[in-house]
Structure 1
Amino acid sequence: MDMRALLNPVVREIPPSGIRRFFDIAAEMEDAISLGVGEPDFVTPWHIRNEGIYSLEKGKTYYTSNAGLKELRVAICAYLERRFGLKYDPLSQTLVTVGGSEAIDLFVRSVIKPGDEVLIPEPSFVCYRPIAALAGGVPVPIVTKAENHFRLTPDELRAAITPRTKVLVLPFPNNPTGAVMRKEHLEALADVLKETDILVLADEIYAELTYGNEKHISIAAIDGMYERTVLVSGFSKAYAMTGWRLGYACGHPELIKAMTKVHQFAIMSAPTTAQYAAIEALQNGDDDIAMMRDEYDRRRRVMVKGFNDMGLACFNPEGAFYTFPCIKSTGMDSNAFCEALLYDKKVAVVPGTAFGDSGEGFIRCSYAYSVESINLALERIEAFVKHR
């Protein structure tokens, strides 16, 4: 029996994630330093962990409603209004999911028909293309450019739209570039979108990790965008809760109703313990966010300066916890650079091509690591670059 031939051809042809490969090799290497995985190095704050433990001690181990605990949905909506000025109804406009990735998948499966096009600014996180393809959609990359600070411009958006365009993914703050869309940039995109029926998937998982004097603003807060936007976020990045696997989506009641239907049959409900912990995070975690964001900001400045000083031009990221230095000056492609760096200097970084073809000539380096580890990695990378 040819088992491979029996697989769904779409699944068969999806390449594995390019993020994990170098991390997995580094994990087996003695004295290796990995700057590869996008995960906070902080432990979930104790008061959040304690609330999860307390829920177990109280025997709260049953399924919740499909949409999530009502108390959590109320807390999510209160948080979004308090932090970003967005108002959602906890009962009809809010769905709790197994991480932000499930929310993305639910949205795409709920709205995409075979042949519908999904616009994806790239470089960007690895899940959007496969999820669109699995739903029968056609992923359409839009290349963002370093000279535009890796922001999506209205001209780039307008040029990509066709009669088959159904969804625009808006993944800002961006993984891997750290790019941020400010209010004026979102308003320019909104002027284009208002002329269409295109829906917006706003992946704002890094919203709290925005640096500088301007706070994050959601495209859902821009005039005319609220109704057509589904906002996706979660607890992994802002609260260092990656292993708790909890996210959420907020949007138009009809969209959330459809997403909940898919979630109901595919998942049932998000982890109960994580939901109780998340209520505590939303209600009492502002200081934790501020502490971690300040530390990321310190590391960000160290890493950007380090790359620029060694001659690898590095865009100054305004969000998330990644740098995206250009390695074109070495004459090596991204994959070759990362492989040689790992075996020669025991430093794992991710080739830019893991985030789309337009990532060629760049590497992604996470600064969700200690300053000591970052400085040692930078020393090894500089020595590697000097001897190429």
Structure 2
Amino acid sequence: MIDVESVRAQFPSLRAGTAHFDGPGGSQTPEPVARAIHDALVLPIANRGSVTPAERNAEQLVQGARAAMADLLGADPRGIVFGRSMTQLTFDLARTLAASWGPGDEIVVSRLDHDANVRPWVIHAERAGATVRFADFEPDSGELDVEQVRAVVGERTRLVALTGASNLIGTRPDLPAIAEVVHAAGALFYVDGVHLTAHAGVDVAALRADFYACSPYKFFGPHCGVVAADPALLETLHPDKLLPSSDAVPERFELGTLPYELLAGTTAAVDFIAGLTPMAGGRRERVLAAMESAEAHERSLSEYVERALAGLDGVTVHSRARRRTPTLLMTFAGRSAQDAYRHLADVGVNAPAGTFYAYEPARRLGLEAGGLRVGISAYNDRSDVDRLLTGLGDFLGGSPR
């Protein structure tokens, strides 16, 4: 297990005393990440090159971040693409891929996904004259299984876009099994790993994702986006770009000068994760061991919360899948989730309410206004959870039995 007290001590924001369950919207930032961003900003810096120290600093920051993300995801550093956000990168890739789509082609998205992995594909499929099909999930269980994808994948399917874990209810579909269906149809598999990457060790090759997108600010890093892909696949794609800009992979997908300071912070975030548990070995091995320990810690706290919630009258928990992240969406009989959000905020507990851009799953669950989302992170401890439960008990007019 991780040493939670030691981990918490590295997050300056936690000193304010607030219990943060808002990690699914963006984690808190540890001091080493903030320091790395600062240090990059005060370095001599220039456009990337090899002549001056400033140019070499920029080059090292970029290559260091590609190597770090490759270690985090089990990917090839030559296929790591950086952008402003996962949403921006997904729109860019949808536009690029859609150039080869046409009438009769089919694109599959899901009712479980954040809109960043739905709308870019829908918009560009419609512009290309392609048909959009939706893979559904079972609202009572929260499950999206391989048969639900198989039902909408056919010989004209060009791409399937699916979440690695729902940011609303935590459901983790069986990605390797679904990838087998996708690839048997000759289609590409685009995985939104934004929520999954914060809570589990990731191996892009084992998941069989052709594209894997994530956001460092969900796992202790700065605000930017990343897509990992096979460099050979990226070589086949030709995005819009400026004429004099590099046509090399992955640079051809990175429009304009990269934010060197954010890449420094991304590297520091991966190094921070690798150091969550003390052990020897390469960074990839340390990352996987650390994520296993963090996952066990988060699961323990999540199970404690769920047991306590079962003793509160009027609470419905919509996170029910067998395999899921420590992310709980709840609603309250006769009470507003927004009111619960405000009540908790007043007692120093951050657990926001809403749909969190998960438009399709919220509608499928009949929760147009969403619910209260509790997301557990590696820096949460038992005292945080007890404050959350006390606050919910007070909000509902009673205490957990």
Q: TM-score, normalised by structure 2?
A: 0.66
- Asked whether the equivalents of residues 331 and 337 of structure 2 are also in contact (C-alpha less than 8 Å), the reply is no
Structure 2 residue 69 is the aligned partner of structure 1 residue 69: no
Partner of 2:246: none
CA spacing shift, 1:269–1:39, aligned 2, 3 Å: same
Aligned AA for 1:198? A
8 Å CA contact 2:191, 2:211 repeated in 1 = yes
Q: Post-superposition shift, 1:353?
A: 9.2
Change (3 A) 1:355 1:366: farther
Cα distance in 2 for partners of 1:41, 1:217 equals 22
User: What is the rounded CA distance, in whole Å, between the counterparts of 1:199 and 1:165 in structure 2?
Assistant: 9
Is it true that 1:98 corresponds to 2:84 in the alignment? Answer: yes
Percent identical pairs in the alignment equals: 11
Structure 2 equivalent of residue 107 of structure 1: 93
1:202 aligns with 2:217: no
Q: Secondary structure at the match of 1:60?
A: coil
User: How many angstroms does 1:202 deviate by?
Assistant: 1.3
SS in 2 for 1:375: helix
The aligned residue for residue 152 of structure 1 is 144
Q: Which residue of 2 aligns with 1:233?
A: 214
Cα separation, partners in 2 of 1:352 and 1:364, compared to 1, 3 Å? farther
Q: CA deviation at 1:299?
A: 4.2
SS of the residue corresponding to residue 127 of structure 1 reads helix
| Structure 1 gap segments, 5+ residues each | 1-32
- Using the alignment, how far apart are the partners of 1:269 and 1:174 within structure 2? 32
How far 1:285 sits from its partner (Å)?
Answer: 3.0
Structure 2 stretches lacking a partner, 5+ long: 1-18, 50-57, 242-250, 277-289, 346-350
Question: After the TM superposition, which residues 1-388 of structure 1 pair with which residues of structure 2 at under 5 Å, given as runs?
Answer: 38-43=24-29, 45-60=30-45, 62=47, 69-81=62-74, 86=75, 88=76, 90-91=77-78, 93-112=79-98, 113=101, 116-137=105-126, 139-146=132-139, 149-162=141-154, 164-181=156-173, 185-210=174-199, 216=202, 218=204, 220-221=205-206, 225=208, 229-238=210-219, 240-241=220-221, 243-255=222-234, 258=237, 261=240, 267-288=255-276, 296-311=298-313, 312-314=315-317, 315-316=319-320, 318-325=323-330, 330=333, 337-338=336-337, 348-351=352-355, 354-356=358-360, 357-361=363-367, 363-368=371-376, 370-371=384-385, 374-380=388-394, 382-383=396-397
TM, length-normalised to structure 1: 0.68
Give me the whole-angstrom Cα distance separating, in 2, the residues matched to 1:343 and 1:71.
41
Could you tell me how far apart the structure 1 residues matched to 2:35 and 2:336 are? Answer: 43
Residue 171 of structure 2 aligns to a residue whose secondary structure is: coil
| Aligned residue-pair number | 326
Give the equivalent residue in structure 2 for 1:24: none
1:244-295 Cα deviation digits (max 9, x unpaired): 3242332352336637655858832431101122223334532346586566
Q: CA RMSD in A?
A: 4.0
**C-alpha distance in 1, partners of 2:316/2:38?**
46
Whole-Å separation in 2 of the counterparts to 1:351 and 1:194: 32
Q: Is the 8 A contact 2:340 2:392 kept in 1?
A: no
Q: Matched residues in 1 for 2:342 and 2:71: separation?
A: 49
Contact 1:150 1:179 in 2 (8 A): yes
Give the superposition deviation at 1:129: 2.6
Residues 74-117 of structure 1: CA deviation (Å, up to 9, x unaligned): 33223433xxxx5x2x33x2212223223322222221236554
> C-alpha separation between the residues in 2 aligned to 1:77 and 1:310?
44
